[in-house]
Structure 1
């Protein structure tokens, strides 16, 4: 057998990979080592572009394949195999150290990471460069495959009622703009690839977003005032702009901007597609910013929705069963929140979103289309494609309409040196808007709390609401027994003095009870039910805005959150009360110093004081504290000297439960404490006060529900 060496020029090796020769193995490992060093250098410089991510993923793919092949190869000597595995392990070590510098790179190491078209093409190029090719994939034996069940499609009764109530409510699609003939000069050019590459080639001084007009007013409904950066985007919608990729960092008010842009554009009815964790918050924000526009949220089959609403909010998970009637509803605008959820164009949810967008664009003259995401790119520049397609800028193969006209207007082709900069400018002007907290720091408070209400669905939610009703009924029974024992009737109103005595009795029993349902066990169960939703939101923040501090009161809530982070490939530090001082400091240092550690999971009591976490400007409060002081202490772990950005604390609230009432009470006690510190004679509330007031509110609401006319008497209220 000839000694392995350089192949003659012009020859090509196409043998299957399991017959490759030793020299070629070494060539491949050398290529992987050289490539991973290039990626490492780019990561150290902070220049992790989409092309760098593509090379990183190709190294990970080939490394995994080569490692498995070498271990399975029984043809060589043990010493030879050990040498090859040692070299591969060296490449793997560099790969891992590089991944911790960037969350996007780390996600590419997952077994189920989506392999982009660019990565597949580069993988083939690498193999061919060392004279190797992948063997053709063998098709599995043909077996009868049962047809996938068709998705359940529903039409809520309220939507049918809307259609029947008034024939004039039927959507009129006659005014849809006809498709204009496209210019022909660039018709023969492949343009999508150059458009995407134009963003890879962007320099540091190139604009990140379109020019926005100066706002004519910052006033919104109800006397609220928009921040300047928000008002500028709304002014763009008012001036006639209709498509936006709004990529502001979390905490800059994208929801309010979208709602008020729809108001400025007259884009109602408006469809809003969101992740499950934020759909209740969208309805809440609509009530704040567009209170005259009724909003409805689709849960499950939509049995409870308002078919006459102006704003329809639906989450990705149930979109499949509603896509039929939604497409015929006559929407004049569509918002997709966390739009990076549709980056995989082959997924079902992406297909449904794109279908709805196309139907709206084909039936409505200049609809408002908005894609909201703090993370427009996750793995690859190709992540832009689905978002651009949703906005109507492109289709599967070419630019459309206004974008094509803008490209024609440049007078350039992809062969011209200036095309890429001009093409990127054309795309940006279609509606890309990107602002960071640090860019608009003067617009937003240095420290603020943003409530995020979530719906507790499923068995856990039903159980918690049932337990809350049982607690209320138990206190009502005690209240009624007390009235009967003193020989007095119900009276003209609720006896607030008796209500407080009953609530205080319940509070005392709960504090000493070893088992059974009470206000403390209920709050713990609510925390457990919120844990997954809160962790999912924290993971989204980490991907889009950087490091996040996650606070919880109970260990089981921290455990549940850490399970979510582990499944999603999000690296975290854990700071708990049962750690040694050394272990605690190691976890703090990992979060502060390691760029790959995205989340610090902290005990509200153990980590709420004495540590500095100002590397993060976003905080998630998964469970409520009983006092504002404890909540403030937690926030101040990040909001302290050394913090360069405004801090936002995202407080996760279980809607329609006692959780929401306690949040209101904590806020009211915070105001009381502030007045006391300013010299007022008011007594500052304690945690026991909040617990008592929560029970008083629960009992009062239950009594009022049983007898709606029973209001507290003037004598009891002191008026």
Structure 2
């Protein structure tokens, strides 16, 4: 493939120049001084550009360096002597990056690291994923859950062969990452000796301490606010943000320190992993991409104006167009299970209506009192009350239908099924614990320690119980359930379709051998109907940006038929 025109060599003797170009190594920024019109054009063109008068500066990156070459075709600049070699190296890297990116889009590169550095055999689509990461970082690997994003990331790290690096994860999967690193990454020679295994250190506590030498550091998101700046000074060679939906909200210390850390990583070797980067609205994608490649989608005000309905808006007008842009620019790779795993059994959903008790008169009275206060309130207090009304109604809905959810679960358990039951409120778990105690349920709800969660998971996987109850918000990163169960029940709902996708795909992933059945147990009244309606809009945002199609009417009818057949089998078992 030839060099694109915008990356051709510049005219060494232009008719005129519009200013000077220097490189600020301390801040890793280009600094342009000169003609006011050219400076204004640079401010419009380069993400993160800032400055006043006839000076403008912006962060250097492989993507924007190519644009700078293009810019200087229109506005030739005098490159200062000390900057000349830096510029030549930068534009050459930009050419390599652009050619590789365009090549990978047309003909995906397959990367299988050498056995001497990587102890694993990748599937073809995983080799292409690792090849994409090598040629596109900083970028987001947004493969469907269950397609092995962790192993693709480790193949990328092994091929880089540069240490140390940092893995940022949710609390629940720190040990899982440690195990995977030691499983897949081969020991490496250090100062003439061969280490017995990759050295991994899990960072603990909010009080920073002197870190021991290690190849991999693992930290959970909750500690970034205390450790971010110290880690940014360590000259780390790579960073992996696992379950990157944790960064979908900006404006927090965690987010700010994640940004500082990402920008400090050598050569932009930063990747994010998430099968569900969007939980609610498409604007969450801006927050995540802004960590990976600062202002690659412009500043948020410009993004909301151009991609959403207007300044400050969060719903993307054309999700398909945004998703297409991200993929075309090498900012995201997304493959679904149906694309790459033809042998994976199907997944079927059904919204199952169940009975529920009336919400208690006392609780309903309190809710009505809050509604009266809401009608009379203004400003912040009105917003707070609205949120509290929704929270309380959701909680009481969960409690009112909890006994009937338990009865539905009993029907499946009595027929010998192993099931996963998802909920949200601890008061609901208490009802299920009492109603289903004869089935010896185990729990992962947020109240357990990391070791207790691991014991619950292992007890279910090893067949010591047929019932595991998991919090909707605790499902991310849990692996192994697919080897034990193919039936999932949602006893409560979440406002986010991304949460449901995370939960569903704990069983619909590589290793599953049976058709997966997902029951959404909903009652009339309460909050269920409103939540289902809201989920429809949010799902459209996710599917559009991620490049997926919604279910057709024929597919929904097929789901209902297969669900009916499954229930027939259950009934026959119970008769016997």
Same fold? TM cut 0.5: no
Which TM class, normalised by the smaller chain length? 0.3 to 0.5
The structure with more strand, counted as a fraction of residues: 2
Q: TM-score, normalised by structure 2?
A: 0.42
Q: TM-score, normalised by structure 1?
A: 0.34
